[in-house]
Amino acid sequence: MVPYSQCCEMISQSEMAEARTETEQQTVLTPDAWEAAYLRFETPGEEIRKFMGRLNRLGARNWSRDAEIVELFCGRGNGLIALQRLGFTRIEGVDLSPRLIAQFKGTAKCTVADCRQLPFSDRSKDVLIVQGGLHHLPNLPGDLDQTFSEMQRVLRKDGRVMFVEPWRTPFLTFVHFVSEIPIVRRLSAKMDAFATMTEHEIRTYTQWLTQPQLIQKIAHDHFVPVHESFAWGKWNFVGSPR
């Protein structure tokens, strides 16, 4: 028979383990300030539909459904779900945040890794996608050059890279101006969410928006543009590795 004192100790340890598990789960499920604002700005369903439309516009409807595709900076994985709904089956995601990847509920393989040092062999993937992750890189131009070098290394010779990032177009300048008006933020939850996101990423966001020529040069040094456009506050780029 187990002594009473040992039973109490075992129960206490079990309760402590359960409490730690609950705390860890809560940490995973609780968004940080930027993520909470993003969830107010756009629901997961809205984001998935946006990604599906964007992927098709930028050529995904012409990709082989057997293509090996990796979304970098995949976050909570809505881009992966969009790819699944478009019929792609050989897809993976990479993100630096285990908390965000833990929120993904799809079937694609997700890996916690740094996009500046990708965990893939040379010439092993057909398509690499980035949707809004590059402007979070902490140091330009070094981090961007390193990320593009890794993408260039991993892509097959006939592969495709696709990225969509914020860009200082007249539309984006106007949106920033409007979102900074206090009464607009009080009346529009979407504008308040946008302004909050900007506040929480101001250093990297400003760093990105103020160096367009440098960013384009680095992209063109690594990839041959197949499509490049600037509209509605976005830089849309599709290219092949040099």
87 and 15 belong to one structural domain: no
CATH code of the domain containing 109 = 3.40.50.150
4 and 124 belong to one structural domain: no
Note whether 185 and 179 are within 8 A (CB).
yes
Provide the whole-model pTM: 0.86
Give the whole-angstrom CA distance, residue 208 versus residue 84: 30
120 and 159 belong to one structural domain: yes
24 and 45 belong to one structural domain: no
- Find where tokens 């409490």 sit: 19
Give the pLDDT mean for 224-230: 98
Number of domains in the chain: 2
* Span 31-88, pLDDT tens digits: 688 889 998 999 999 999 999 999 999 999 999 999 999 999 999 999 999 999 999 9
DSSP one-letter string for 74-106: -TTSHHHHHHHHTT--SEEEEES-HHHHTT--S
Other Cβ atoms within 10 Å of 185 Cβ, number: 18
* Span 107-165, pLDDT tens digits: 999 999 999 999 999 999 999 999 999 999 999 999 999 999 999 999 999 999 999 99
* Span 72-114, pLDDT tens digits: 999 999 999 999 999 999 999 999 999 999 999 999 999 999 9
230 backbone dihedrals φ, ψ, rounded to 5°: -130, 115
115 and 178 belong to one structural domain: yes
207 and 221 belong to one structural domain: yes
25 and 52 belong to one structural domain: no
Quote the domain boundaries for residue 230. Answer: 33-241
111 and 26 belong to one structural domain: no
53 and 75 belong to one structural domain: yes
16 and 60 belong to one structural domain: no
106 and 189 belong to one structural domain: yes
103 and 119 belong to one structural domain: yes
